[in-house]
C-alpha cells in the first residue's frame, strides 16, 4: 500500500472510530477534520512510526447556550380571565414593538394573591382593599416582575409607594350580563329565586329593584367556577361582567345584558390597568405606547368618586364616566345600603379633561356622603 492509500485508510478509520463514540454533551459540538499529508513529505514516516495523529485535527468547541433574559416580565393572577388580559397586553406590546416579538422577549409570571387563596368566605369578610393586587404589587416593587396587569376594579384607590399606573388599555363593555338557564332577565325570575354574586354592589341593586328575590353573596370563584355552580343548581341565576365574558369568548352563556339604568357598573369595570416601578423609564415608555387616554380619564374620574367615599368591599358603590355625543364627560354615581332598601344617586357633566373629571368625581362623592349621613353603610 502506498503512503497516500495508507494515510487515507487510517484517516477513515479514525473518523469512523470517533463517530462511534458517545455523542457529545448537549451544550457542546465536536468538530472533526483531517488533511491528507503530502506524498513527498520527508518526515511523514517518522511521525507514523511514533503513532502520531498528525494529519488529523480534532477540536471541541463549547457552545454556550444563550438563555434569553426576558425584556419584559408581566405579573398577573392565574385565573383564565387574568391570563387573557396578560396575553392581550403582550399582543399589544408586540404589535407596537418588533423587538418584543422574539421568543422569550416577554415572560408572563403567575402570582397567587390573597383573593385567590381564600375562597370560602365572602370578600367583605376577608378584608378590604388589595385582595387581588397585594402580592403582585410586592413582586413589582421587589423587581421580580417589570409590569403588573390588573383588572382596574380590583385596584385600591391608593397605589403602593414606588409604583405608578400610567396605562389603561381600551375599555371593554362596562355592563353586567345576566346568566340563567330558565329566565331571560331578572324581572322574569319567580319570587324566591336565588341570584349568586360576590358583589355587594350587585346585591344591593338587585334587592332594591327586585325585593322578592334572594341573594347568595358568597358566590365566589373565577368565571368558569361560577358558571359550573349555576349549572349544578346551587343558584338560579348570576351576574357577571360582560367585559370578562367577551375577553374569554364566552358570551354564549349570556341570557341578557343589563342596562345601565338597571345595574350601574363597578368603578373602572371593563378597564385593564398596567403598573410599573416609579423610576423605570423604559417600562413607562413601553406602557405609554399602549395607553388609551379616553379610558384613563374616565377611570380617573370614577376612582376619584370612589376614593372620596372611601369605598371598600363592604361598601355598595357604583360609578361610570363616559364621553357623550358632545364630547363632554357624563358621570353617574350611586351608593346603597347593603340590603338595598336605600339607594342614593347623582350625576355630573363637564369637560372631558383630567382635572375637571377628577373634580367631578370628588364632588359627586362629597354630595352622596352628605346625603347618606353617618352609619349609612352599616360600618
Q: And the C-alpha cell for 200?
A: 355587594
Annotated active-site residue in 116, 137, 154, 280: 154
To the query of whether residue 154 is one of the catalytic residues in this protein, the response is yes
Q: Judge whether 153 and 160 are in contact, CB under 8 Å.
A: no
Residues 241 and 119: their CA atoms lie apart, in Å, by 19
CA end-to-end distance (rounded Å), the chain: 104
Residues 322 and 347: their CA atoms lie apart, in Å, by 12
Residues 379 and 375: their CA atoms lie apart, in Å, by 6
Residues 216 and 339: their CA atoms lie apart, in Å, by 12
Residues 353 and 328: their CA atoms lie apart, in Å, by 9
Pairing of strands 343-350, 329-336: antiparallel
Residues 207 and 35: their CA atoms lie apart, in Å, by 91
Residues 180 and 189: their CA atoms lie apart, in Å, by 9
Count CB-CB contacts under 10 A for residue 40.
Answer: 7
Residues 250 and 244: their CA atoms lie apart, in Å, by 8
Give me the residue label for grid cell 408572563: 108
Measured on CA atoms in the order 190, 191, 196, 200, is the torsion positive or negative? Answer: positive
Which residues lie below 8 Å from residue 368, measured CB to CB, with a gap of 6+?
Answer: 309, 333, 334, 335, 344, 346
Q: And the C-alpha cell for 8?
A: 487515507
Phi and psi angles of residue 249, each rounded to the nearest 5 degrees, phi first = 55, 50
Distances (CA, A) of 326 to 75, 261, 332: 38, 21, 17
Residues 316 and 374: their CA atoms lie apart, in Å, by 15
Torsion angle (degrees, nearest 10) of CA 246, 352, 316, 228? 0
Tell me the catalytic residues: 154
Amino acid at each position: 500500500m502506498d503512503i497516500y492509500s495508507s494515510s487515507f485508510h487510517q484517516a477513515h478509520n479514525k473518523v469512523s472510530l470517533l463517530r462511534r463514540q458517545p455523542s457529545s454533551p448537549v451544550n457542546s459540538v465536536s468538530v472533526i477534520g483531517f488533511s491528507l499529508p503530502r506524498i513527498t513529505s520527508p518526515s511523514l514516516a517518522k511521525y507514523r512510526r511514533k503513532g502520531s495523529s498528525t494529519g488529523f485535527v480534532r477540536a471541541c468547541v463549547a457552545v454556550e447556550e444563550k438563555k434569553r433574559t426576558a425584556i419584559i416580565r408581566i405579573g398577573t393572577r392565574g385565573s383564565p380571565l387574568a391570563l387573557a388580559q396578560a396575553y392581550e397586553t403582550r399582543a399589544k406590546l408586540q404589535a407596537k414593538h418588533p423587538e418584543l416579538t422574539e421568543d422569550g422577549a416577554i415572560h408572563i409570571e403567575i402570582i397567587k394573591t390573597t383573593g385567590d387563596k381564600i375562597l370560602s368566605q365572602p370578600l367583605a369578610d376577608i378584608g378590604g382593599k388589595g385582595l387581588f393586587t397585594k402580592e403582585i404589587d410586592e413582586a413589582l416593587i421587589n423587581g421580580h416582575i417589570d409590569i403588573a396587569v390588573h383588572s382596574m376594579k380590583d385596584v385600591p384607590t391608593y397605589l403602593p409607594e414606588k409604583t405608578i399606573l400610567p396605562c389603561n388599555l381600551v375599555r371593554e363593555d362596562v355592563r353586567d350580563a345576566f346568566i340563567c338557564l330558565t329566565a331571560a332577565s331578572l324581572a322574569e325570575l319567580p319570587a324566591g329565586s336565588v341570584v349568586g354574586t360576590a358583589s355587594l354592589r350587585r346585591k344591593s341593586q338587585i334587592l332594591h329593584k327586585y325585593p322578592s328575590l334572594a341573594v347568595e353573596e358568597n358566590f365566589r370563584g373565577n368565571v368558569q367556577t361560577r358558571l359550573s355552580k349555576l349549572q349544578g343548581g346551587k343558584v338560579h341565576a348570576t351576574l357577571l361582567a360582560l367585559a370578562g365574558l367577551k375577553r374569554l369568548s364566552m358570551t354564549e352563556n349570556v341570557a341578557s345584558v343589563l342596562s345601565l339604568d338597571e345595574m350601574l357598573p363597578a368603578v373602572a369595570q371593563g378597564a385593564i390597568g398596567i403598573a410599573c416601578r416609579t423610576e423605570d423609564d423604559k417600562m413607562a415608555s413601553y406602557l405609554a405606547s399602549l395607553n388609551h387616554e379616553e379610558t384613563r380619564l374616565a377611570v380617573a374620574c370614577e376612582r376619584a368618586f370612589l376614593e372620596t367615599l372611601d369605598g371598600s368591599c363592604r361598601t355598595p358603590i357604583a360609578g361610570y364616566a363616559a364621553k357623550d355625543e358632545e364630547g363632554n364627560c357624563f358621570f353617574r354615581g350611586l351608593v346603597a345600603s347593603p340590603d338595598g332598601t336605600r339607594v342614593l344617586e347623582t350625576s355630573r357633566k363637564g369637560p372631558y379633561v383630567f382635572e375637571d373629571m377628577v373634580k367631578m368625581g370628588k364632588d359627586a362623592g362629597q354630595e352622596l356622603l352628605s346625603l347618606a349621613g353617618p352609619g349609612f353603610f352599616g360600618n
